Amino acid sequence: MDYSIISRLEDLPVEILMEIFVYFTASEIYLSFSQLNNRLNLILKSLPNLVLIIRQHLDPSILSFFYSFNKILVKFYGWRMMRCKCQSHSINGGNRLYEIYPTLNNEWFPRYSVEIENIIRPDIYSRLQSLVLPATSPKLTQLIFRGEFPCLRICHLGKCKSIIFPLLMTIQQLNFRQLTIREQNGHELERILLVCSSLVYLDFSCDNIIPPFILINRYFPSMKYLRLGRIKNFFFHNGQFDFLLSLFPNLLQFYLIADQCRENVETIQFLEIAHYLRHRCPLLKILVLRIYMQGHMRSSYYIGSFKKIIEMHSLFNYIEKCDSRLMISSHGFIQHHVYTRRYARSSFK
């Protein structure tokens, strides 16, 4: 064929068509280009880098047309129509705030979909590079952490049952760059860090304590974005907070949701917290501390003390208190509540 006189899209060389289709999702390709002719159908069915985006319903005709996908993204909805953002946006002079799931676990109640997980067949295990789900079944979670997906780099599993690691750390290294896994046991955080030592982004949540680490003896310099919540019985001044920060010297974004210990309530010294943050995380640009206080700490703060806290660190820009919850943020108030007391640095009002 003389390519110098091509006037129709379907007559372009296969190499060029594949470069064009990289910019479309599987649904867009199917609706716009399928069934035009047999040659184009064969090219579409063999595309190596398909992105499947599922919103509220799964179209079986798309699944039956294509052979495989290497990226699967479920655009899910949560409680009060909270949506999966699956993106970052610019705040604070160009810093990137990554948001994928609703902030708090108790604000959304996803369930894993058997229909969606059925498309993750063994024949695509070796090709899947990106997976974003609202929730994940125990079976799929265990397959992922057994290393059955060697090319998987972006792995956002949402809510799932606790991972069952072997007692001996014989599990193979996983090359994840991004991982979200919620509703876990606190003691599994250490194992996840050891198994996924190349993570850049980690969103981990549990409903119990994170015990002292006994296996970790190294730093994780690749980690840039870390979200931990909701950790029970957390201490800021017994070395736990300082040690945690010391593991991630290159953090750019840090989000911590923590409950104070009910039995041994410590008096929180925000000047000391600010020192830990400056010393351990000098590159930090985005910060959220959400602390659920106990005992005498519940009534310890008022607007006058907010003004003093604001001056302790350059990222302590917004403070709000509602009942037992005290939140400090670098980039804005997280949510409104009729009984919330708020204070913002004057330059951010």
- Per-residue b or e along 117-135, where b marks 16 or more CB atoms closer than 10 Å to that residue's CB: bebbeeebbebbbbbbbbb
Nearest C-alpha neighbor of 231 from the set 165, 182, 301: 182
Side-chain-facing half-sphere of 288: CA atoms under 13 Å: 23
Average pLDDT, 10 consecutive residues per value, the chain (349 residues)? 66 84 84 85 81 75 79 64 50 57 61 80 88 89 92 91 71 87 92 93 92 90 94 92 96 94 86 97 94 80 78 93 88 65 77
Q: 3-state SS of 51-80? A: EEEECCCCCHHHHHHCCCCCEEEECCECHH
The pLDDT score that the predictor gives to residue 103 is 63
Backbone angles phi, psi at 82, to 5 degrees: -65, 135
**What is the rounded distance in angstroms from the CA atom of residue 45 to the CA atom of residue 48?**
9
**What is the rounded distance in angstroms from the CA atom of residue 17 to the CA atom of residue 323?**
59
Q: Which helix (H) or strand (E) holds 202?
A: strand 201-206
Asked whether the bond before 230 is cis by omega within 30 degrees of 0, the reply is: yes
Nearest C-alpha neighbor of 116 from the set 64, 72, 181, 163: 72
For the beta carbon of residue 34, count every other beta carbon within 10 angstroms. 15
**What is the rounded distance in angstroms from the CA atom of residue 244 to the CA atom of residue 241?**
5
Backbone angles phi, psi at 177, to 5 degrees: -105, -30
**What is the rounded distance in angstroms from the CA atom of residue 228 to the CA atom of residue 199?**
14
The pLDDT score that the predictor gives to residue 13 is 84
Nearest C-alpha neighbor of 289 from the set 267, 260, 264, 246: 260
**SS3 call for 50:** coil
- Per-residue b or e along 204-216, where b marks 16 or more CB atoms closer than 10 Å to that residue's CB: bbbbebbeebeeb
Residue that has been written with the tokens 């003896």 in this structure: 217
